[in-house]
């Protein structure tokens, strides 16, 4: 009987979060993974590694497909993003309003710690608007070979994490789309995820902007307690990578 564990690492420097990562691994791989994750942040004064046994593991057969749009600038990137969101039933004004907020810092000018939840009718539904909701407990079953394959094709380790996270999100019946930009001022590629596809948009934010975050667009009928339980508790391994389009 295989035993799986979740390993979560977070590190900070002078009170500022600088690095975070998560893996779901077999018990025998814990020493190597804990060692790898502890070496990830270069400079820190606080590092926490949490290891938890997973008792109820679920599987997703295939991740979202990946399609890339290379665009002139982040303004054009966001036009593409809004069009994709509109095709999923998100109102143009609702999409633009919350996208603007993410680019300006959705927690009173600072980044939210987790994601924003917005209903199709335009209401914000997070229980705590500074904290937001955090999607955790998801990984690829064979992370190593998927990472290698994606890196060979010019994707980054961030893409690997983001596809896993978006695949878990869109697997929930109430989430219709996700919008994401990084809070790393140098990382300008972002994405919009739909039920089938991870649309990677390059660029989606202005270089040197330190603001970033995620928006989960949900059906009006969403049960928020159920959604939090799913995103923050339920554990998933993804078996295969979707198509690269
Ligand atoms: C990509 O390269 O596919 C986009 C990844 C966005 C990552 C967001 C983040 O790391 O915060």
**What digits encode the pLDDT tens for the residues 6-53?**
999 999 999 988 999 999 999 999 999 999 999 999 999 999 999 999
245 belongs to a structural domain = no
Which atom of ligand 1 lies at the shortest distance from residue 184's CA?
11
Residues having CB closer than 6 A to ligand 1 are 156, 158-159, 162, 180, 182, 189-191, 200, 212
pLDDT in the model for residue 17: 87
Decide if 158 is inside a domain: yes
Assess whether 50 and 81 both reside in one domain: no
Do 108 and 133 have their domain in common? yes
Give residue 108 CA to ligand 1 midpoint distance, Å. Answer: 23
Could you tell me if residue 30 is inside a domain?
A: yes
If you take atom 11 of ligand 1, which residue's CA is the nearest one?
182
Q: Give the chain's residues under pLDDT 70.
A: none
Q: Cα(first)–Cα(last) distance of the chain, in Å?
A: 37
Shared domain for 101 and 151, answered yes or no, is yes
Domain containing residue 130 = 60-240
Determine the pLDDT at residue 1.
85
Atom index in ligand 1 nearest the CA of residue 159 equals 3
* Cβ neighbours of 80 (radius 10 Å): 15
Residue nearest atom 3 of ligand 1, based on CA coordinates? 159
Same-domain pairing of 169 and 229: yes
Residues 47 and 68 in one domain: no
Do residue 221 and residue 235 come from a single domain? Answer: yes
Mutate to test the pocket of ligand 1, among 159, 197, 214 (most ligand atoms within 8 A of CB): 159
Residue 179 in any domain: the answer is yes
Q: Kindly report each contact of residues 80-83 with a partner whose C-beta sits within 8 Å and lies 24 or more positions away, as own/partner.
A: 80/199, 80/201, 81/179, 81/190, 81/192, 81/199, 81/201, 81/204
Q: Is residue 87 part of a domain?
A: yes
Give pTM, 2 decimals: 0.96
């Amino acid at each position: 009987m295989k035993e799986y564990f979740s390993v979560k690492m977070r590190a900070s420097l002078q009170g500022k979060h600088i690095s975070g990562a998560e893996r779901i691994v077999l018990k025998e791989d814990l020493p190597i993974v804990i060692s790898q994750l502890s070496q990830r942040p270069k400079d820190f004064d606080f590092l926490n590694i949490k290891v938890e046994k997973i008792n109820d593991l679920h599987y997703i057969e295939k991740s979202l497909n990946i399609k890339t749009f290379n665009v002139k600038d982040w303004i054009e990137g966001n036009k593409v993003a809004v069009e994709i969101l509109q095709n999923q039933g998100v109102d143009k004004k609702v999409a633009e309003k919350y996208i603007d907020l993410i680019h300006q810092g959705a927690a009173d000018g600072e980044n939210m710690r987790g994601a924003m939840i917005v209903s199709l009718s335009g209401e914000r539904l997070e229980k705590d608007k500074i904290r937001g909701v955090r999607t955790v407990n998801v990984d690829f079953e064979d992370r190593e070979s998927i990472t290698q394959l994606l890196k060979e094709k010019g994707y980054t380790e961030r893409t690997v994490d983001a596809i896993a996270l978006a695949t878990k999100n869109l697997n929930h019946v109430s989430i219709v789309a996700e919008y994401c930009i990084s809070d790393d001022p140098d990382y300008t590629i972002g994405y919009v995820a739909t039920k089938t596809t991870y649309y990677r948009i390059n660029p989606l934010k202005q270089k040197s902007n330190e603001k970033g975050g995620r928006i989960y667009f949900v059906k009006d009928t969403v049960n928020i307690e159920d959604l939090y339980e799913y995103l923050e508790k339920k554990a998933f391994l993804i078996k295969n990578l979707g198509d690269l389009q």
